[in-house]
Amino acid sequence: MRIPPLYTRKGWQRFLSGFAIGTIFGWAFFLSLYGTMYEKQISTIKEQQIKISELKQQNKLLIEENEEDEDTPSEKTPRIKEIEITFENAEKLELKQLTISELRKLVLEEVNDLLKKDVNSVAETRNFVVRTIENKTFTVDDLAFKVKVKQLFILHTKTEIHLLIEEVS
């Protein structure tokens, strides 16, 4: 019994080469879609982790504030309860969302001391806060960034900081 030599026929050669090329293109397409989806999932998870840590910090501060309010007489001075950071030129620099999230986390860690402070004392020391943020170099994924404070708003219990990102070479 002998296997017929189908590999010498042109039709079979075209079929097998088409099958091989199709398999390679299909695999490349699958890898590109999977990589895109996986990158989105990682950035979503990082953002959620950052949000969870912020909420845990706020919860801790609110519990401490509630305990202090029970201990002291009703002295109601407004305190900073939330810090919001926005980057003005993040789209222009074409940074990845994960890098922006990590940079936001690092800046939040730098200004985290403002939470639970009196609004008046934060307003008096806003120049110090601005210098503190601007003099620090933040490193994310082997890239160094400096941020410049564009605007600093101190609202009733919320602080908004608008920053410009500069890459350090």
Average of per-residue pLDDT values in the chain: 87
**Tokens at residue 9, please?**
């026929």
Number of helices (H) and strands (E), helices first, in the chain? 5, 4
pLDDT value at residue 49: 92
- CA dist 24 to 7, 12, 18, 27, 164, Å? 21, 18, 10, 5, 44
What would the pLDDT profile of 108-164 be if each residue is shown by its tens digit? 988 888 888 888 888 888 899 899 999 999 998 888 999 999 999 888 888 999 999
- CA dist 44 to 34, 50, 148, Å? 15, 10, 26
Q: What is the mean pLDDT of residues 54-74?
A: 77
pLDDT value at residue 73: 58
Cα 115 from Cα 107, distance rounded (Å)? 13
Angle between helix axes 97-110 and 126-134 (nearest 10 degrees) is: 130
Q: What is the mean pLDDT of residues 70-80?
A: 70
pLDDT value at residue 3: 66
pLDDT value at residue 16: 86
